[in-house]
Amino acid sequence: MMEMTQVKLDATNYFLKPFRKIVKKCLNNEFYRLVFKGGRSSGKSTVAAALVVLRTVKTRHSAMCIVKYTNKSKQALGTPIKNAILDLKLDKQFKWNKNLTEFVLLDKKGKETDIVIFCSGADRPETLRSFKESSGGFSTLWVEETQNFDSELDIQDIESTFSRSLDYCTVIYSYNPLQGKKSFLNKLYDFTQENDRLIEKVKEYDDYEFEYRLEETNLGDEDNPDLKLQCICHCTYKILKRFGLWKKIAPTDRKRILQGEKDNSNFYRWWYLGDTNGTGEANVFNNLDTYKFDKSLLNNNDIYNGLDWSYGGKDPHHFGRWYYDSKNNDLYCVGEIRLPPSAGLVDLYNAIRIGGCSEEIIYCDSGNPLLIKELKNMGLYSRAADKFGKTNGKYAGIFWLRSLHRIYIDPDFTPFTFQEFAGYEYAKDKKTGEILSEIPDGDDHSVDTCRYAICKVIKSDSLV
């Protein structure tokens, strides 16, 4: 085993005070597993990335950093690693490639060594198996955004692949908990397991600011015990705010945090406090509420219209009208038109015209630009709805809707919209019945119409 290098660490300048004990133990190889969980904008990934860098320098062994999807490896892994290297003033000791997927440690003469911080996605397992570590094993494994993995088995396979070479390999998990209490991560790390021995539990400051617990786990058996120490740390944006780093949080998040603190909504407690306050029910929109439609809402300027086409089969055409109360962060459904798939463009035009919306902009499903153009030629102000990236547009829209204080729908005035929003549920595992994090697909015409209608608002205030 190579001799470990002393690392001069000024924890005062880099790590916030509550993290320092954990950081010291991690750099001394006291943990076999370190779990960072909690709300958004809490500094979890920043601390994890810095530990990866410092452990690589100290142990003189490579590190493996993994996120589920390869196309997110640069943003979720490479950028935090690079920032940590620069902030720790270790940039003269590393060389990295343009894609930020490999950070090579340099020797005293500035030459490349075989010690590397690798960043990769896990969506191609065969690629992970191809990584080689010629310096004798990986001393650190970081799995970022662990909540995106489907099961405990998935992360166990990754852990066993990269942590078996060295006795002092430390596995770091960092994630934002899923809301449902049935999530495998919430089951594993919200409470001490039966076979673990609680050694220390520390809760600093107010609720949901910072706390951690140390547990001793036996990875062997009764006759041949293999006792290992793991640390589970829960932190939120409140710890940054306490130590004067409020402005380090993105403006959009600061706005939502202040609104959430005022409303104390379920979304705020989950998204920013990491509180797994889900009821276990599969409904996506737990902020859905009913109201009695009031015509006076139509006098507001913030009325948005959306249109979802039928592409045959049983899919209907759906037109929806929405009023966004930006002051209170509420959304009201103020109208719907539902036509069968057999209806043509003339039928759509007449229904929208009779509904009194012919002078307003209508944001349509962008998948058929020809239909948008034809409606425009007929006299409607039809436009293609904005997209939000190549792959996560629907995800962004759904999470924006979930972030609202309330979504108000009158089940009598707009029955199709209410039925779809109320029945919009996450998928369930067919064998276990466990609620998955997968966004549902199907029976979502009014949901899609809503996303199209308010696309301009989502684009300027997106969570994703």
CA torsion 279-282-286-290 (nearest 10°) is -120
- With CA atoms as reference, report the closest residue to 5 among 44, 58, 83: 58
The predicted structure's pLDDT at residue 464: 45
- With CA atoms as reference, report the closest residue to 209 among 129, 260, 127, 274: 274
Tokens of 324: 């966004």
DSSP secondary structure code for residue 76 in this structure: I
CA dist 251 and 425 (Å) reads 31
Residue 265, pLDDT above cutoff 80: no
The predicted structure's pLDDT at residue 54: 96
Query: pTM for this one?
Result: 0.73
3-state secondary structure of 205: coil
pLDDT tens per residue across span 429-456 = 666 655 566 677 777 899 999 999 999 9
The predicted structure's pLDDT at residue 336: 95
Domains defined along the chain, listed by start? 11-250 (3.40.50.300), 288-460 (3.30.420.280)
Burial class (CB in 10 A: 0-12, 13-18, 19+), 142: buried
Cβ-based neighbours of 241, under 8 Å, separated by 6 or more: 249
The predicted structure's pLDDT at residue 1: 29
Q: Are strands 361-364 and 381-384 parallel, antiparallel or unpaired?
A: parallel
Residue 231, pLDDT above cutoff 90: yes
> Of 19-28, 114-123, 439-448, which range is least confident?
439-448
Buried b (16+ CB within 10 A) or exposed e, 249-287: beeebbebbebbeebebbbbbbbbbbbbebeeebebbbb
> Of 212-216, 302-306, 354-358, 430-434, which range is least confident?
430-434
* Mean pLDDT score, 348-357: 89
* Mean pLDDT score, 113-136: 80
CA dist 121 and 98 (Å) reads 17
Are 241 and 253 within 8 A, CB to CB?
no
The residue that leads in pLDDT, 36 or 124, is: 36
The predicted structure's pLDDT at residue 227: 86
3-state secondary structure of 12: helix
* Mean pLDDT score, 39-55: 95
The residue that leads in pLDDT, 432 or 34, is: 34
The predicted structure's pLDDT at residue 430: 63
pLDDT tens per residue across span 153-208 = 999 989 988 887 778 899 999 999 987 656 789 889 988 887 789 999 999 888 78
The predicted structure's pLDDT at residue 422: 84
The predicted structure's pLDDT at residue 267: 79
> Of 36-40, 193-197, 256-260, which range is least confident?
193-197
In the block, tokens 């004990």 appear at 21
The predicted structure's pLDDT at residue 273: 92
Burial class (CB in 10 A: 0-12, 13-18, 19+), 308: buried
The predicted structure's pLDDT at residue 15: 92
Side-chain half-sphere of 187: how many Cα atoms within 13 Å? 7
Tokens of 177: 């908990």
Instruction: Name the packing angle between helices 44-59 and 20-27 (round to 10°).
Output: 30
Are 270 and 463 within 8 A, CB to CB?
no
DSSP secondary structure code for residue 198 in this structure: E
The residue that leads in pLDDT, 229 or 281, is: 229
Give just the sign of the alpha carbon dihedral 330, 335, 340, 344.
negative
Percent of the chain at pLDDT > 70 equals: 89
The predicted structure's pLDDT at residue 236: 96
Residue 279, pLDDT above cutoff 50: no
* Mean pLDDT score, 316-342: 94
